[in-house]
Amino acid sequence: MSAKIEASGEIEILCYPTGSAARTYVPYFDGVGVGDRFSLIFAVADDATAPYALKIFSPSGANILDTIVRELPTATPQSPPAIEFVVSTNGVYRVEIREVRGRKRGEASVRIG
């Protein structure tokens, strides 16, 4: 199966299969299926301020993850590790991130299958 990724917003969401060498924006991956892990890293403008509210939704609309993140993983040295989720079914996974005390936000959709 394949995965198609679309992202928008001031906080850029980079999503890639865990173990992949690509840690930049790649809109399409082959060989992705149920049970695989996806990693999330972020590209944030200098004027964005922590904390951030992160939500990940499954294709059925169920909330997989709803948390506050103090420091976003950026894949730079000293950055926290990437945030991961497991693909449990085919469909569109939605990722939303926003500043808790600001207006900057980002959205991504990951279509599996």
Domain housing 67: 2-112
Q: What is the pTM of this model?
A: 0.87
CATH number at residue 39: 2.60.40
Average pLDDT over residues 12-32: 70
Average pLDDT of the residues of the chain: 87
SS (H, E, C) the chain: CEEEEEEEECCEEEEEECCCCCCCCCCEEECCCCCCEEEEEEECCCCCCCCEEEEEECCCCCEEEEEEECCCCCCCCCCCCCEEEECCCCEEEEEEEEECCCCCEEEEEEEEC
Lowest mean pLDDT of 14-18, 30-34, 57-61, 105-109, name the range.
30-34
Per-residue pLDDT at 113 exceeds 70: yes
Summarize pLDDT for 47-102 with one digit per residue, the tens: 889 999 999 999 999 999 999 999 999 888 899 999 999 999 999 999 999 999 99
Per-residue model confidence (pLDDT) at position 1: 67
In total, how many domains does the chain have?
1
